[in-house]
Amino acid sequence: MTRKRNRAKHSGKTGGEPRFSRRLPWRARRARRASAVAEDVEQSRRGVPRRRRMLDRYGWYEQRPEGAWTTTRQAEALNLATSRRSSRHEGVVAGLNIVSGELEILDPFALYGDTISGINVCVIGDIGQGKSALIKTAFGLRQLVADRQVVILDKKPQSGCGEYTPIAQTLGAASIRFRAGGGACVNLLDPAISTGGEHAGGLSGIVPAGQEALVLAVLADSMGRELDEREKSAVGLALELVNADARDQGRAPVIRDLAMRLLDPHTDDFDTVGDRWAERGLEWGLEPGLALLRLADRDLKGLVDGETSQEIRDSLDTHPLVHFDLSALPTDGPALRVVMTVINTWLANRLAARSSRFAQTILVVEEGWHVAQGSTGEVFQTNMKLSRGLGLCTVSAFHHISDLPVDSPARALMQEASIVVLMGQGREDDVRETCRMYRLPPGTEETLMRLGRGQALVKIGRRDPFLLQHIRSPLEVELTDTDSAVKGVSAA
């Protein structure tokens, strides 16, 4: 035993390995120590913590294959892609980003130029998902604080009046109520609506739809067909003559004047078309005249057939909130659609006339599908194309977009919006059509169907979509309540 142990010691074997294999030559060890000292000096100079040899021997600085327990608060620093706060602070806040927790701004005027190239907004979602609450706060009440004017076309009834009536009463604004056969009236031939020329004091080239385009659109929807060239010529000529006569008499023309001029024209009205057609031209306005007379006496009686009410003419100058209560108008027939389009055209022309004041205005259309049908819908869409020049942001709300035809003006209104707020939708066809229209990434369909009330998927310009949680103050919750009729309590 003694010989074997001595022999093993002499040969340098321990555990089956040569003794000299475990230790480097003394020169190599000294060089390594010198390198380690130099590295420690360099790290100290750079402010890097010194790496200790004892801890290094036990693997303290090596990567661990298993994870370490932590808390949500501690792990926020590791999620650098979403924990960075936005540097934007100007504009009206709508709510919180569900993923990052930061405040999100849906202010079209504040975002214009940097993020979006247009200022129109579209809100899509099922009934009861919080569309109205979001519009009333983010694009209504809070916009007033930013010194902007808000005009509301209120169609949804609540407790016998429009659902925006409590907000108007709280702010001391008048509710301009339209009723068939009586109430407020906005003249289809109001002198404030352009007759084809530039607006005095306005911006060059910014001219919304005029009287002739508006009348032709109303006639096309009423007659159920497009007017031919002879009828258009008769309407245009009669409109020019009626406006001239009304100016001489110091009053505003009305559609009954136009109807009677088409039905009973003067013998020299068509002298401008030549001797051959002058007599025949007297018959060209028969059908348009009969249609206008029917609108004045029945379908639109008391709505657009008289001079514009004084409260409407003064509305833009008396209060920052202008509330048009259309809840009493029937949804069947042309009355609601025509009144909405006439108000929109009147407003666009008024804004064009005062565009040199650089005022910012928001037009809220809760039931957007009413104004997005037929020829009047095309007029509404034409006016929206001038939104940047007019400083007019149109906020429209829709639901069940799969029910709308592909070539309808409603689709154009939704596609031209620069800010799109998508709230919860329960129908698969609506979800698929929404994702196709806005080119949303795969998997968004399930997200839209699982959104809770007050939550939305927001798409702003070319920015990636993000999830928003709408936040309301206690006062806003009270003012935006629309469940009074269901719950059996009075509205605020």
Q: Which two tokens stand for residue 171?
A: 């702010």
DSSP symbols for 168-219: HHHHT--EEEEETTEE----TT-TTS-SSSPPTTS-TT-----HHHHHHHHH
Q: Distance between the two ends of the chain, CA-based, in angstroms?
A: 104
**pLDDT of 392-404, one tens digit each?**
899 988 888 887 7
Following DSSP, what letter does each residue of 80-145 receive, concatenated? HHHHSPP----S-EEEEETTT--EEE--HHHHBTTTBS---EEEE--TTSSHHHHHHIIIIIHHHH
Return the higher-pLDDT residue of 372 and 475.
475
Q: How far is CA 1 from CA 18, 19, 143, 224, in A?
A: 20, 20, 99, 119
Alpha helices per DSSP H over 210-254:
211-223, 229-249
DSSP summary character for residue 235: H
pTM over 0.85: no
Q: Which of 103-107, 292-296, 483-487 is predicted least confidently?
A: 483-487
The H-assigned helical ranges of 335-408 are 335-353, 374-384, 387-390
Fold of 71-186+309-492: Rossmann fold (3.40.50)
Task: Give the residue range(s) of CATH 3.40.50.300 domains in the chain.
Answer: 71-186+309-492
Per-residue confidence (pLDDT) for residue 489, from 0 to 100: 55
Tokens (6 digits) for 317 = 């100058």
pLDDT score for 484: 56
Q: Report pLDDT digits (tens) over 16-73.
A: 444 444 556 767 767 777 777 777 666 666 665 677 778 777 777 777 667 777 787 7
- Kindly report the backbone phi and psi dihedral angles of residue 469, in degrees, each rounded to the nearest multiple of 5, phi listed first: -110, 115
pLDDT (tens digit per residue) in 91-148? 899 999 998 888 899 999 999 888 888 899 999 998 888 899 999 999 999 999 998 9
Tokens representing 408? 């309808």
Is pLDDT at 250 greater than 80 in this prediction?
yes
Q: What local confidence, expressed as pLDDT, does residue 195 receive? A: 65
Torsion over CA of 293, 295, 301 and 306, rounded to 10 degrees?
-70
**What pLDDT, on the 0 to 100 scale, is given for residue 399?**
83
